[in-house]
Amino acid sequence: MTIPDWYITGAVVAFLALAGPALLVCLVLGVAGAVFQTATQIRESAIAFVPKAIGLIAIFAFAGGLMLSVTANYAQHVFDAAPAIVHGRDSR
Q: Is residue 86 part of a domain?
A: no
Please check whether residue 90 lies inside any domain of the structure.
no
C-alpha dihedral, 68 to 71 to 76 to 79, nearest 10°? -140
pTM greater than 0.75 (yes/no): no
Q: Average pLDDT over the chain, rounded to whole?
A: 85
pLDDT of residue 45: 82
Q: Would residue 15 count as lying in a domain?
A: yes
pLDDT in the model for residue 3? 66
Give residue 28's pLDDT.
Answer: 95
Report how many domains make up the chain. 1
Q: Does residue 52 form part of some domain?
A: yes
Q: What is the pLDDT of residue 84?
A: 78
pLDDT of residue 90: 58
| Confidence at residue 30, expressed as pLDDT on a 0 to 100 scale | 92
Number of H helices, E strands in the chain: 2, 0
* Full residue range of the structural domain in which residue 62 is found: 7-81
Q: List, for the chain, all residue ranges whose pLDDT scores fall below the cut of 50.
A: none
